[in-house]
Amino acid sequence: MPIAKTIDRRLFLAGAAGASLAGAANATLIAPGASAAEARALEAVAAYLEAHRRHYGLPAMGMVVVAGGRPFTILSGTRDYRETQPLIGDELWQIGSISKSFLALACLSLQAEGKLTLDDELRQHLPEAQLPGVSSGGPFTLRGLLDHTTGLPDFAPALGEKLWRGFNAGKGWSYSNTGYDLVGQALSRIEGKPVKQIIEERVCKPLGMTNTRGAIQWRDRSRYPASYSPLRPDRPVLPGMALAPAPWVDANLAAGSVAAPLADMAKYLNFLIAVGQGKGAPLLTDVQARLWLENPVVQDPASPAETYGLGLMHRTDEGRPLLHHTGGMVCFSSSFHVDAAAGLGAFASCAVGGMNYRPRLITLYALRALRAAAAGAAIPAPPALGGLPGDAGDYVGSYSDGQTQLDILPGLVVVLDGARVPLQAEGGGLFVTAHPGLVEWPLVAVRREKAVIALDHGSRRFVRSGVNAPLPATTPEIAALAGHYQSDDPWIGGVSIVARGDQLYLGGAGLLRRTGKVDFVPADPANSPERLRFEAQVNGVPQVLIWSGRRLERRDV
């Protein structure tokens, strides 16, 4: 008998530390054919999804889990801007960069027909691409572009101006939407049709994903849940921060423009499970299926187990190999995980963009819960929301910028101007908080021989009591570059540049390294392909920032 019930928040106990679960939960689980053990696992997953939605203040979330080929659906939130109509399950969700695996599949399909090989140089099929010469750093092969190993920047214009690279082919890894868009242009030239049509015909139709769209278009907008983005995108993102309706953007980008209902994503998950088991039908031969997953490249030498290949992230969890990807759009964020050996997959999406949030913890937890159910074990507790980092004690103490004292109490509570407000750890010694005196910028820990000696905030430095760690003087030249730069293109948005000491910081946290009089690159990673150039000086103050080929205008307030 189908299970269609509302999950009460009392089912969610462990893992709720730090989460704000105001009001009664209302995640709806639809699980036809689920066993009693599977139902318990799915109820725990639904409760965890509801905790996420309320903790982060998300208006709508949809999820589909597949086990043994059967789809189970979880819905939470509303589909309209008045927040009166519940989700009904047929909505379209923008899957973002999960679309990259669809493009890789289209390439494999064309390779099987002899229309290309993954080792082809891009300019064989797209001579209009303005790329550095092969002699300057190696070829731009289709495989290299699909693996993100050609050194191209992330979101530079794919066509129209000369591109550049941050490292030679195969000598590094850097995520590049630009590279995927170039491959999409090549496929369009080969087939003589838009990439949207190629994806729908070569991937979606054979899989029975008849309601999936290869592009995001106005004509389908009524089929999407009402979508949102932060009301103040110029501030660090905090759980539960105020949201506003997100701008709508049509998109026909090969890097990420697929939109699908949950039922169709269940079909895609089942296909990926089959691929992970060595079976490629109906899109690939079994040989092609194995080749798709072979030889992924390391993304970061510091994490050699995290690899990427042809539109798929390869991960491990509890010693098990998983397929994974996330997707972020102007107004949607998504994630999937697949455990092929266990026959399990999970996809989740929320109708919010611009938050650097992905529901990856939910999709990963779904696999863990259902594996436990299959083994007859107790359902594990989900990862905690808002927990403290293991080094939380390192930051406890008193700090001062010479005028104002700031205290960090045990439990990561900041005290400033008499107000006590929790800090939220973002990882790597980065913290954000709703404290009105600190909300504009993140707090960035400064260490000396592993000890925290200061907390940087915007242009200020709060030095720990008893420590000498002054900032260098800020020159007028550096100070003139700081400011807020904005684009009216929602894909680009805005960026704030902070002058702190004698350095510039992106968003108050990311150190920029100077490469010329008005030219900078991110200091981390050292081979970053991104480029920043300050232009249009008025009285020594730049009015324009060119970010990897995209124009942003100074709009200080």
- Collapsing DSSP states into helix, strand and coil, what is residue 48? helix
pLDDT (0 to 100) of residue 235: 87
- 124, two tokens: 């064989």
Residue 11, pLDDT > 80, answer no
- Name the strand (E) or helix (H) holding 364: helix 360-375
- 200, two tokens: 């729908």
Residue 12, pLDDT > 80, answer no
Contact between residue 165 and residue 152 where contact means Cβ atoms under 8 Å apart: yes
How does the average pLDDT of the chain come out, rounded? 93
19 and 158 in a single domain? The answer is no
Closest CA to 52 of 9, 97, 92, 94: 9
Average pLDDT over residues 135-155: 94
pLDDT (0 to 100) of residue 135: 74
Residue with tokens 């939109």: 259
pLDDT (0 to 100) of residue 291: 95
348 lies in a domain? yes
Residue 3, pLDDT > 60, answer no
238 and 359 in a single domain? The answer is yes
105 and 83 in a single domain? The answer is no
Confidence of residue 304 (pLDDT cuts 50, 70, 90): very high
The angle subtended at Cα 291 by Cα 119 and Cα 154, nearest 5°, is 55
Q: Residue 80: which CATH number?
A: 3.40.710.10
349 lies in a domain? yes
Contact between residue 9 and residue 25 where contact means Cβ atoms under 8 Å apart: yes
Average pLDDT over residues 526-552: 96
399 and 359 in a single domain? The answer is no
Cα 462 to the chain's mean position, in Å?
31
348 and 237 in a single domain? The answer is yes
pLDDT (0 to 100) of residue 2: 39
- CA gap 229, 245 in Å, rounded: 6
Confidence of residue 534 (pLDDT cuts 50, 70, 90): very high
For the chain, give the percent of residues with pLDDT over 90: 88
Q: How many helices (H) and strands (E) does the chain have?
A: 10, 30
DSSP string for residues in 130-180: ----GGGT---BHHHHHHT-S---SSS-SSSS----SS-TTS-----HHHH
180 lies in a domain? yes
67 and 34 in a single domain? The answer is yes
Contact between residue 353 and residue 325 where contact means Cβ atoms under 8 Å apart: no
Q: Which segment of 17-21, 169-173, 183-187, 266-270 scores lowest on mean pLDDT? A: 17-21
Q: CB within 8 A of 146, min separation 6: which ones?
A: 100, 103, 104, 107, 118, 179, 180, 183, 309, 310, 311
- CA gap 327, 406 in Å, rounded: 38
pLDDT (0 to 100) of residue 10: 30
The angle subtended at Cα 108 by Cα 105 and Cα 110, nearest 5°, is 110
Residue 20, pLDDT > 50, answer no
For the chain, give the percent of residues with pLDDT over 70: 96
Average pLDDT over residues 359-381: 97
pLDDT (0 to 100) of residue 161: 87
pLDDT (0 to 100) of residue 8: 37
- Name the strand (E) or helix (H) holding 106: helix 99-112
pLDDT (0 to 100) of residue 486: 96
pLDDT tens-digit profile of 236-256? 888 888 999 999 999 999 999
27 lies in a domain? yes
Average pLDDT over residues 163-175: 96
Half-sphere exposure of 198 (CA within 13 A, CB side): 27
pLDDT (0 to 100) of residue 23: 31
Closest CA to 158 of 180, 191, 137, 141: 180
Residue 22, pLDDT > 70, answer no
Domain that holds residue 415: 392-464
- 376, two tokens: 């007859």
Kindly report the backbone phi and psi dihedral angles of residue 537, in degrees, each rounded to the nearest multiple of 5, phi listed first. -70, 135
Average pLDDT over residues 35-60: 95
Domain boundary among the residues 464, 489, 523 is at 464
Q: Quote the radius of gyration of the chain (alpha carbons, Å).
A: 24
What's the total number of domains in the chain?
Answer: 4
Domain boundary among the residues 464, 490, 522 is at 464
- Name the strand (E) or helix (H) holding 483: strand 483-486
- Collapsing DSSP states into helix, strand and coil, what is residue 110? helix
53 lies in a domain? yes
172 and 270 in a single domain? The answer is no
Q: Residue 436: which CATH number?
A: 2.40.128
Residue 24, pLDDT > 60, answer no
Strand boundaries in 288-392, DSSP class E: 297-298, 307-309, 312-317, 320-328, 333-339, 344-350
Average pLDDT over residues 342-365: 95
Strand boundaries in 386-478, DSSP class E: 397-400, 405-409, 413-416, 419-427, 430-433, 443-448, 451-457, 460-464
Count of positions (residues) in the chain: 557
Contact between residue 156 and residue 147 where contact means Cβ atoms under 8 Å apart: no
pLDDT (0 to 100) of residue 387: 83
pLDDT tens-digit profile of 194-246? 999 999 999 999 999 999 999 999 999 999 999 999 988 888 888 888 999 99
Average pLDDT over residues 512-524: 96
- CA gap 50, 62 in Å, rounded: 10
Q: Which segment of 130-139, 262-271, 447-456, 537-546 scores lowest on mean pLDDT? A: 130-139
211 lies in a domain? no
> pTM (2 decimals)?
0.94
pLDDT (0 to 100) of residue 476: 96
* b/e sequence 62-79, b meaning 16+ C-beta within 10 Å: bbbbbbeeebbbbbbbbb
Average pLDDT over residues 409-437: 95
Average pLDDT over residues 248-270: 96
* b/e sequence 92-120, b meaning 16+ C-beta within 10 Å: bbbbbbbbbbbbbbbbbbbbeeeebebeb
pLDDT (0 to 100) of residue 557: 74
241 and 352 in a single domain? The answer is yes
Which residues face 486 on adjacent strands?
494, 553
Average pLDDT over residues 441-469: 97
456 and 484 in a single domain? The answer is no
440 lies in a domain? yes
82 and 120 in a single domain? The answer is no
Domain boundary among the residues 405, 440, 464 is at 464
pLDDT (0 to 100) of residue 5: 43
Torsion of CA 128, 129, 134, 136, to 10 degrees: 120
313 and 244 in a single domain? The answer is yes
Instruction: Tell how strand 483-486 and strand 494-500 pair up.
Output: antiparallel
Average pLDDT over residues 26-46: 96
- Angle at which helix 177-191 crosses helix 99-112, to 10 degrees, equals 40
188 and 311 in a single domain? The answer is no
407 lies in a domain? yes
